[in-house]
Amino acid sequence: MPVPEPPPPALDAARLVAVVLEVLDGRRAGRLLRHVAVPGLAARLGSLVRSRTTRMLRVPRVCHPSRFVAEISVTVRRDERVLAVAARAEHRNGRWWFTAFTVLE
């Protein structure tokens, strides 16, 4: 009988998503993106910063298509609109990093 694969490393999806949303809203410094996103994504997200208010409405849903990959979705409220966030994180060098992050408007 095959040995089951160990569970994925711990992932605090709510914290990671919150950091990005707070940076995009201008409530936290853009340099924090370098700690949660791969370089190309951090640069792209850094160009989208605007003063606004975005709040998560529910706890993020996380799916692990493989042990070191997580697909994250969450519903957010931005001003008066309800939007979806879709993200992908990969575990590299002992940490989770966003490799994709999109607010679907």
What does the pLDDT read at residue 7?
77
For position 47, what pLDDT does the model report? 96
pTM, two decimals, is 0.91
CATH code of domain 13-104: 3.10.450.50
Tokens of 15: 């914290």
pLDDT score of 33: 97
pLDDT in 10s for each residue of the chain, 105 residues? 777 777 788 999 999 999 999 999 999 999 999 999 999 999 999 999 999 999 999 999 999 999 899 999 999 999 899 999 999 999 999 999 999 999 998
Domain ranges of the chain: 13-104
